[in-house]
Structure 1
Amino acid sequence: MPRLKLITFDLDNTLWPVDEVIRRAEQRCRLWIAERYPEAAECMTVEAVREIRDQLLREKPGYVHNLTALRRDALARGFMAAGYHSSEAARLAGEAFGIFHDARNEVVFFPGALDILAHLADSYTLGALTNGNADLRRIGIDDLFAFHHSAETVGRGKPEADMFLAALKSSGSRADQALHVGDHPLEDVGAAIQHGFGAVWANLLDQRWPADLPEHPHRIHTLHELRDLVTLLDA
């Protein structure tokens, strides 16, 4: 591999664990609705909202590339099911989503995340590539990244090529000068390799590598390990 210029990172479950973040954000959103619109809350149980989201995905599969729109529109349908006019439902859904999204960006980093980002940013261009809707500015790390591309901003999520190509364009790098770090064996590791990047599997949650995928040699279990691995790969 030629000398590295670009290192891209997935976000959720790569720099911070996300499942508890989403559970807490959804709970805060439900409480906000229940306190202000109790009649709507009765129509917007966890199961009901899940069914609405599934229905929206069946109607418009493209929602999978825009989780913000999916969640906001599901909330709007929930408010409409409670009897609100569509315009009022959309307004309330926007407010409810704001409550969710504020909490969604209250993350707790994996140990070593901030240190390794600061260290790598001194020598490489860093980019964020995510299928989710985390906001780096709200989280407070936007200054460490040269760019942030998401499924929402480029139109399609990983493992498609769009986000990786956008990263190369934003950084002025070639694929053989780029390394991607992520937790998902297919959407991060497999996709990065398919699109010409190097790849590191960030297995910080002790997951099993899928038996139907070729074994990948570059993996870490803590972000502290990334410093030495990048040095090795860039030698």
Structure 2
Amino acid sequence: MYFYRSIHCIKAFTFDLDDTLYDNSMIVEKAEEEMVKMLQRHEQLCTLTTSDFFAEKYAVLTSYPEIYHDVIVWRIQTIKSLLSKTNIPVSKFADVIDESVTCFNFWRHKINVPESTHLLLTKLATKYPLAVITNGNVDIHQIGLGDYFQFSLRGGEHGRSKPFPEIFDLASDKLAIPSHHILHVGDNLLTDVNGAINNGFLACFINIYHRNILHLDNASCLPHIEITQLPELENLL
């Protein structure tokens, strides 16, 4: 555990999800692949590839730049855009979108949360209020983490995604704790560290990259704390 900035009294924790509380490697990729397979069941989309899907996804982003704040809306709009280029009746769009999103969500939540994460959150939750701030679409209740947190905020649904201020401000308001007493923990230097610091939070960077923080992309400001393993946070108890 490294300390780069002085720490105010910590009164609450907020956590990122993916690659912070669990290893998210290939989870999204697998979910996207299975969703594309689902879409391929329709004759008009039988030749669709994951590359085609991502090309369409970024074409949608070009047309609607703000859509990236909400990954769920972005995915639905991408599927809808693909369907609009086929002869599938518009009346069938909702059914195809629903089955595709359901498939994606099934695989998206095939996450193995380490026992060490459960143990840490159990200990922290006895002393601090805990909350989630995520840019993804994981439902904490579906992966067995719901009981530890007072609430979970998601980019798009609860304001612009990290590092923008709305979602951090809302977390502070819902916790009823000033932002300078809240430690945000995450693996992304831009969305988590810069986002937290620029919005008055304390920042803890979990360095999963095994590289000097100063050599990492987006290392424009130092966090208050750097850790390499989540259980190190127990040292703050």
TM-score > 0.5 by shorter chain: yes
1:29 aligns with 2:35: yes
> CA distance change for structure 1 residues 216 and 3 in 2, over 3 Å: closer, same or farther?
closer
**Deviation string for 1:180-233 (max 9, x for gaps)?**
0000112111111111111110112435533652344511111121111x23xx
Which whole-Å CA distance do the structure 2 matches of 1:37 and 1:110 have between them? 38
2:44–2:88: 8 Å Cα contact kept in structure 1?
no
Residue 15 of structure 1 is matched in structure 2 by 21
Unpaired segments ≥5 residues, structure 1: none
**Deviation string for 1:108-149 (max 9, x for gaps)?**
225621111111111100000011111111112111100111
| Alignment of structure 1 residues 200-215 onto 2, 5 Å | 200-206=204-210, 209=213, 210=216, 213-215=220-222
2:194–2:221: 8 Å Cα contact kept in structure 1?
no
Q: Which structure 1 residue ranges, 4+ long, deviate > 6 Å from structure 2?
A: none
SS in 2 for 1:116: helix
Letter matched to residue 127 of structure 1: A
Which whole-Å CA distance do the structure 1 matches of 2:211 and 2:24 have between them? 15
1:45 aligns with 2:52: no
1:111–1:223: 8 Å Cα contact kept in structure 2?
no
Residue 84 of structure 2 is matched in structure 1 by 80
Which whole-Å CA distance do the structure 2 matches of 1:19 and 1:89 have between them? 31
C-alpha displacement of 1:3: 3.2
Tell me which moved more, 117-126 or 88-97. 88-97
Residue 123 of structure 1 is matched in structure 2 by 127
| Alignment of structure 1 residues 35-184 onto 2, 5 Å | 36-42=41-47, 44-110=48-114, 112-184=116-188
> CA distance change for structure 1 residues 207 and 158 in 2, over 3 Å: closer, same or farther?
farther
SS in 1 for 2:22: coil
Which whole-Å CA distance do the structure 2 matches of 1:11 and 1:156 have between them? 17
SS in 1 for 2:23: coil
SS in 1 for 2:220: coil
Residue 199 of structure 2 is matched in structure 1 by 195
1:8–1:178: 8 Å Cα contact kept in structure 2?
yes
Tell me which moved more, 92-101 or 108-117. 108-117
C-alpha displacement of 1:5: 1.8
RMSD of equivalent CA atoms: 1.8
Which whole-Å CA distance do the structure 2 matches of 1:147 and 1:201 have between them? 21
- What TM-score, normalized to structure 2? 0.89
SS in 2 for 1:200: strand
Unpaired segments ≥5 residues, structure 2: 1-6
2:203–2:224: 8 Å Cα contact kept in structure 1?
no
Which whole-Å CA distance do the structure 2 matches of 1:41 and 1:5 have between them? 53
Which structure features the higher share of helix residues? 1
Percentage identity across paired residues of the two chains: 26
Which whole-Å CA distance do the structure 1 matches of 2:72 and 2:160 have between them? 14
C-alpha displacement of 1:16: 1.6
Which whole-Å CA distance do the structure 2 matches of 1:181 and 1:89 have between them? 39
SS in 1 for 2:136: coil
SS in 2 for 1:201: strand
- What TM-score, normalized to structure 1? 0.90
Which whole-Å CA distance do the structure 2 matches of 1:171 and 1:219 have between them? 24
